[in-house]
Chains A and B, each alone.
Chain A
């Protein structure tokens, strides 16, 4: 009944959806799986009206529709239960449930709270949640909030005559096992009235719940599997299956790291409560160590710990043989750690400051006499690194906010390298870069390894992780699953990794 035909969506530089066909019948539960960046969230956003497709049609019961915004999609019975909890925590449960639809309880400009509470209780009963609708949302557990979200979407039942389509985006990520089962039985019951689209990283859950499964890769639907034919291995192969180009990742330039040398970073059973637990590894000079896992598996938290932005709750971290006692960014920088975060605009470069100002930001003390800057030296440093990394900028005075993503990334790298950092943390260093700029980054990674720099990488894709790294640690829910050795010619396959990730 709800159908997408040949839907296309492009963003600058990215073809996010490539003529996707998608169909969901009455009372059906459809699973949607794919790697990070495969186009799942874009597809979801098109479905619930947050994005308008560039091409193709959306039809409901054969009638063409076009949603300008999520509200219009809701009016057609399409609701979204968000992965990020979308409830406003300082409002009560009932206010959240009827947020934006309070008009039905208003007479003469005054809200009839009793009527709203009554109506809210009815919604909560649908999800079998027995709480006072006047409870402040922040007092609820995550599982309860998830159910309130569902109850909120189910108000569509009363408002809309036709069929409902409800999207569930990673609804189980914060739930315990029993809570997941409860949610699933609820969803199955509700299929009398609604169809569900279920997105999850947990393959077993998708297989368990879904009648059909759409497998996405690179913005395309690569397969649709029926529940009875579904096979985890086959689906995983389809999610990642593509050939890796060894040249592209500069594999021929990968040299063995200095395995005998003193480790630059040593983790000994380190845990950060709620983020990851009992992680141990050594990073040696010249090594590229890649942390692989899904979003929230603890990769970023490990990077942040090394840099000093997170303090471990147990275990010891040693940098260059010295056990770290004070966890803050200043100590991290002083220990020679350079952090290249994912959000370049937020944490990578200061827009509004020019090239040399950005480059010396972490090492201003080296370019100043009692607080007075030696700007001439800063400029010559910047010139030197502009040449060395082939940074495309008219001059050192250019505002870094006006540089392209790849060149911004180079400025960030130059900042740390010129300051003598020999432990470099790369968080998605190629995200949002075009292919040429990516290759530049790969070259830089190899050069840094040759110089004896230790690199910890959270890669944008699995291929990148495999192609660039000497070693890989696969993480799942904050626990190290397996360590792979990735010497050139003897690298693990994508499938080996995915197998341990989900």
Chain B
């Protein structure tokens, strides 16, 4: 290789470089940014978003899109909170069953999502957007607009208990990141995601059951949304309809900024980790250096466009719909 700095190499490492530059920039602007306390803050805000973003990463690798995360997260959070309180209200009792229940609900919503998309042949963005609204509405129906407090100390130790300065929820997120990585790189399901995203025709012509892969993908994404919901509840101690708010923009932005291609086949969960960190470093850094919130959104928007521009080989794409 005579030319080390090829476009491919640049694309591969660009997200990490952007992250490092951002950290450097904010540190220069405000040295307090570069502290364990602040990094823990970034970690706390990143953990739920990372779970949701990992879920949607799988879908985007398949070349589809899932917009149901806000509704799914809300439903999972609310169902979890109700079940948790009904079963005893502390992790030390049978209430721990609320955790697998929430994961099951997330997976079920994703499964239905996939069924609607595949069997009714509705484009994934539309099917999942609709499912998301259904979810948000359902969550509102369950709560009647109330907030449900989850005040169990054991559960809240997700946030309050710290190891090496970071709360437990960061380690939980890390664990699920590793699980996601395992699924992505070591299982037939993960391989199938790439095959469907890289060449659906070919995957079909190689005897893969593409529909089954899609449905499984949506179900898997739903489970990760549920994990995100649990961490979100653990973070603020409240489950409500609004628990899912804003996850759509943050997660999809993170996936794209992390370098996973929107048309599928390229990228992965590590890209998503970097993407989530970039988004949260920007959010956090701007607060730390004292810029108003609307600037953050603007910067993120520009970053998304830059990321897509960088990762698109425009010579090979003639029409964009």
Contact = CB atoms under 8 A, between A and B. Distances in A.
A347 B186 contact: no
Nearest first, the 3 closest Cβ-Cβ pairs linking A and B are A333-B207, A350-B198, A362-B206
Contact of A329 (B191, B205, B266): B205
A364 B205 contact: no
A346 interface: yes
Contact of B201 (A330, A332, A346, A373): A346
B186 A350 contact: no
Contacts of B198: 350-353
Given A352-B198, A353-B195, A307 B187 contact: no
A309 B205 contact: yes
Contacts of A351: 198-199, 265
A375 B185 CA distance: 9
Contacts, number: 73
A372 B202 contact: no
A372 B209 contact: no
Nearest to B189: A371
Interface string B187-211: 1110110110011011111111100
A91 interface: no
Contact of A347 (B187, B195, B199, B266): B199
Contacts of A375: 186
Contact of A371 (B187, B205, B206, B207): B187
8 contacts: A347-B202, A350-B199, A353-B265, A361-B191, A371-B187, A371-B188, A373-B188, A373-B191
Interface string B235-273: 000000000000000000000000000000110000000
A357 interface: yes
A333 B206 CA distance: 7
Nearest to B216: A371
A339 B201 CA distance: 12
Determine the main DSSP class of A at the interface with B.
Answer: helix
Nearest to A339: B205
Contacts of B186: 372-373, 375
B207 A346 contact: no
Given A330-B207, A332-B207, A353-B195, A348 B202 contact: yes
> In which size bucket is the chain A interface?
20 to 34
B207 A347 contact: no
A397 B202 CA distance: 20
B123 to A, nearest CB: 19
A334 B206 CA distance: 10
B208 A361 contact: yes
Contacts of B204: 329
A330 B207 CA distance: 4
Contacts of B192: 364
A293 B202 CA distance: 25
A254 to B, nearest CB: 29
Contacts of A349: 199, 202
A364 B199 contact: no
A104 B234 CA distance: 67
A162 interface: no
Given A307-B205, A350-B199, A353-B195, 14 more contacts: A329-B204, A329-B205, A329-B207, A348-B202, A350-B203, A350-B265, A361-B191, A361-B203, A362-B207, A368-B188, A371-B189, A372-B186, A375-B186, A415-B206
Interface in B207-233: 207-209
A348 to B, nearest CB: 7
Interface string A334-358: 1000010100001111111100010
Contacts of A321: none
A339 B195 CA distance: 17
A365 interface: yes
B270 to A, nearest CB: 16
Nearest to A304: B205
